[in-house]
Structure 1
Amino acid sequence: MSNIITFFSDAYKGLAKESWMLSIIMLIYRSGSMVLPFLGVYLTEELSLSLQETGAILSFYGLGAILGAYLGGRLTDRTGYFKVQVFSLFICIPGLLLIPQIKNIYFLSLIFFLQSTISETFLPANAVAITKYSSAENRARAFSLNRLALNLGFFIGPSLGGILSSVSYSLIFYVNAAAACIAGSIMYLYFRNKDHRISADKMITSQHFRSPYRDTAFLIFISFCVIYALCLMQLFSTLPLFYQHTGLSKIEIGMIFGYCGILLFIVEMPLVNWAAKTFSTIQTVVLGLLSLCTGYLILAFYSHPYLIILSVTFISFSNVLVIPFLSAITSIRAEGKNIGAYMGLFGGIFSIALFLSPLLGSFIAENYGFSRLWLTISLLIIIALSGIYYTYTQKLSEEKNSTSENEKNKSPEEYK
């Protein structure tokens, strides 16, 4: 018993109190973010749209998220993580209150685009804040703590969302707006007097000052991360529709997402801490990608409720074993004055996936069936795994070692 307690407690040691506060803000914000898992169901059931129409509208949400990730990174480098996060949290509120009043497809597409653009500026700024209050040694755990809060929010949010949507879909949007207001208020009150600059000791090498859009090795790496994100984001686009197709109710769908949240709340930090001590970064990422592939392969052949639970368990573990470590790889490479641009580009992979995954998923599901969709996704995961492994081991690691040797021979004047 003492070993178990130590195993869990060690995972949380050594993290700054600011990291904890950022996670609390994320928890509150995401607890209200019950909109995304139910958007597809809302559009098909409440507005009676087809799968392809739903996919097209959801793609506008993803398109706005791409722009939001880019703007969030640029604005963070110019104004700091604090202002961008506060802006995002408060300005997204009017759109959430407006969405339930709109029934026209074209206006919905526009409001989804604007809403996601504003809300997604939050994530690059949040990632930069995590970097500021963590070291290279505990970076993955700091990102994991933040994701733990996010996942716990997805336990609270969708579970409550399933209940609220059975009463009225409008309640989902209103509660999301209230949560954003509370999170924004805490962010402003706690961090307003903090130093929002990235400290000089995090500016490690001169290569970190280049634009991420001119960092060829990193762009290749990111392109394969996009494929991974495209596969993962089926969780929020076509997977709820698949659950609905198999006969699950809205409350049952909410309970499945709630199960994911509570599972990750229990195992995420200890699992990340154990993986960081047991495997290399890239080995952990590969293990997580294999877990994701397994989850979708189960759905390709079975739709029994118990196997659906097993499938989503594998998909959830992929979140734990991939995203914190990819975030850490990006932040360590990016440390310097343009860290916001790097984190914005990394965050943009999920925004691109939000745009493409509804289009790809709904098209394949409607024309060829869900089984072929999950087989296609599994194949894409293998491609992503191969590409990420190759670019990290053959490109990023080689450049890092080469740069480190050059830095050893630099004088302070040359470094400046």
Structure 2
Amino acid sequence: MKNLFHNYINTFRGLSKEVWWLSLITLINRAGTMVIPFLSLYLTKSLDFTLSDVGWIMSFFGLGSVVGTWLGGKLTDKIGYYKVMLVSLVLTGVLFVLLQFITTFQGFCAGIFLVMLVADAFRPAMFVALSAYSKPENKTRSVTLIRLAINLGFSAGPAVGGLIITGIGYNGLFWMDGVTCVLAAVLLLQVLHPKKAKIQDEVKVENPVSAYSDKAFWVFFVAMFIFGFVFLQYFSTMPLYYKDVRLLSELDIGLLMGFNGFFIFLFEMPLIKWLEDSKNSKIKLIAIGLFLVAVSFVVLNISSWLGILIIGMLFMTIGEMIAFPFSNAFAVERAQKGNQGEYMALYAIAFSLSHIFSHNAGMQMVDKYGFEFTWNMITIFALIGVAILFWLLILLKKEKTV
């Protein structure tokens, strides 16, 4: 047991102090975004919107994310990652608090668009900061540490969110989101000010290559869109499935989704270290991760036993544990030859675009054909993504021979 703990601790060694601070800032910020997992429930139960309305609102959520991510990438290359992160955190905190006062369909579409535009400008800036604060050999593990922070926050967030809803209602979530964003900004000012932080790896590239002319990266982009489309069902249609079909309470849903983050917190870093040592291709590992996420949907249709929900969540969790860090690391590596903000923005936009289509398509399918049909279609789409990743492997091998 002592050796196991020692080996676990060793997987964290060598990461810079700045990466640890960035992870803590991300943890505080992510723990506060507890509105998001409950958004579809809030819109249907508190504001009495239809499933179709919720689908369109989530499309505006995704559209704001796309615009914000693109803008964040552009601003990062022009004014630097630090200013973009700071302004994004402060304004997001203010906007989350204001969002609770909007009750009309049109108003909420506009409000969620603006919130996500500002909030997701943070993402490409954070990725570039992570690259700058990480030694080249530690980038994948640095990405994984950030993911641990995100998932530890996500583990605590829904569980606390369920308690807040039970105790004081949905409005408390918006206040908590706003306060935690501002707290993260204050911490950023204190510990990662450019005069205090040490740059580990130069982020400027001479004669940068445009991400938009990188064919292999576009194939990767399509695969990541599909991965995002499939994965994001867990944040819109899945909570409704848990509530309406499996009859779980908000607290039960929060605990089940919290299990995902807690499992990742415990096991992702050792798993990533082991997979890195196995010398497997990053793209092959991403494909395995996407396949496991596909399995997490299809198992839900094979049994009415409540325990199948935990099994499905376990497949999804292991799948994202593999796919997210290695896809992120692949994007960071690819960005070394170009404008890093542009590359990381394009990587993040793949997921932002999936927000536009995933929630809406999932809601419309559930509304018209039911959950069982929807899970089967999501599984098939995921398998198409797996096939595209294997095509990308062939393209990358050809690149090396040229």
TM range (shorter): over 0.9
Which letter does structure 2 place at the counterpart of 1:61?
F
Where does residue 292 of structure 2 map in the other structure?
291
Give, in angstroms, the shift of residue 2 of structure 1.
Answer: 3.8
Counterparts of 2:397 and 2:187, CA distance in 1: 39
1:203-254 CA deviation, whole Å, 9 max, x = no partner? 6785xx1211122221122112111110011111111111111211111111
Tell whether 2:274 aligns with 1:274.
Answer: yes
Give, in angstroms, the shift of residue 396 of structure 1.
Answer: 3.2
SS at match of 2:137: coil
Counterparts of 2:94 and 2:24, CA distance in 1: 23
Give, in angstroms, the shift of residue 398 of structure 1.
Answer: 3.5
Where does residue 334 of structure 2 map in the other structure?
333
Counterparts of 1:270 and 1:96, CA distance in 2: 35
Where does residue 27 of structure 1 map in the other structure?
27
Give, in angstroms, the shift of residue 21 of structure 1.
Answer: 0.5
Give, in angstroms, the shift of residue 389 of structure 1.
Answer: 2.1
Which letter does structure 2 place at the counterpart of 1:122?
F
Which letter does structure 1 place at the counterpart of 2:78?
R
Which letter does structure 2 place at the counterpart of 1:297?
V
Give, in angstroms, the shift of residue 346 of structure 1.
Answer: 0.3
RMSD: 1.8
Where does residue 222 of structure 1 map in the other structure?
221
Q: 1:400 to 1:128 in 2, by over 3 A?
A: farther
Give, in angstroms, the shift of residue 283 of structure 1.
Answer: 2.9
The answer on whether the counterparts of 1:222 and 1:346 sit within 8 Å (CA) in structure 2 is yes
Which letter does structure 2 place at the counterpart of 1:374?
W
Q: 1:125 to 1:303 in 2, by over 3 A?
A: farther
Q: 1:122 to 1:201 in 2, by over 3 A?
A: closer
Give, in angstroms, the shift of residue 43 of structure 1.
Answer: 0.3
Q: 1:212 to 1:25 in 2, by over 3 A?
A: same
Which letter does structure 2 place at the counterpart of 1:213?
Y
Where does residue 52 of structure 1 map in the other structure?
52
Task: Trace 1:303-314 onto structure 2 (pairs within 5 A).
Answer: 303-314=304-315
Q: 1:282 to 1:217 in 2, by over 3 A?
A: closer
Q: 1:173 to 1:342 in 2, by over 3 A?
A: same
Which letter does structure 1 place at the counterpart of 2:154?
F
Q: 1:401 to 1:343 in 2, by over 3 A?
A: farther
Where does residue 213 of structure 1 map in the other structure?
212
Where does residue 74 of structure 1 map in the other structure?
74
Counterparts of 1:143 and 1:44, CA distance in 2: 35
Tell whether 2:324 aligns with 1:323.
Answer: yes
Q: 1:194 to 1:354 in 2, by over 3 A?
A: farther
Q: 1:101 to 1:286 in 2, by over 3 A?
A: same
Give, in angstroms, the shift of residue 129 of structure 1.
Answer: 0.8
1:156-181 CA deviation, whole Å, 9 max, x = no partner? 11101011112210000000101001
Which letter does structure 2 place at the counterpart of 1:113?
F
Runs of 4+ in 1 over 6 A off after TM superposition: 195-200
Which letter does structure 2 place at the counterpart of 1:43?
L
SS at match of 2:286: helix
Where does residue 105 of structure 2 map in the other structure?
105
SS at match of 1:138: helix
TM-score (norm 1): 0.92
Give, in angstroms, the shift of residue 303 of structure 1.
Answer: 4.2
Q: 1:397 to 1:24 in 2, by over 3 A?
A: farther
SS at match of 2:100: helix
Counterparts of 1:6 and 1:283, CA distance in 2: 29
Count of aligned pairs between the two proteins = 399
TM-score (norm 2): 0.95
Where does residue 354 of structure 1 map in the other structure?
355
Counterparts of 1:92 and 1:200, CA distance in 2: 29
Q: Structure 1 vs Structure 2: percent identity of aligned residues?
A: 33
Where does residue 371 of structure 1 map in the other structure?
372
Q: 1:42 to 1:303 in 2, by over 3 A?
A: farther
The answer on whether the counterparts of 2:165 and 2:173 sit within 8 Å (CA) in structure 1 is yes
Tell whether 2:159 aligns with 1:159.
Answer: yes
1:79-125 CA deviation, whole Å, 9 max, x = no partner? 11110100100011221111111111100100000000000011111
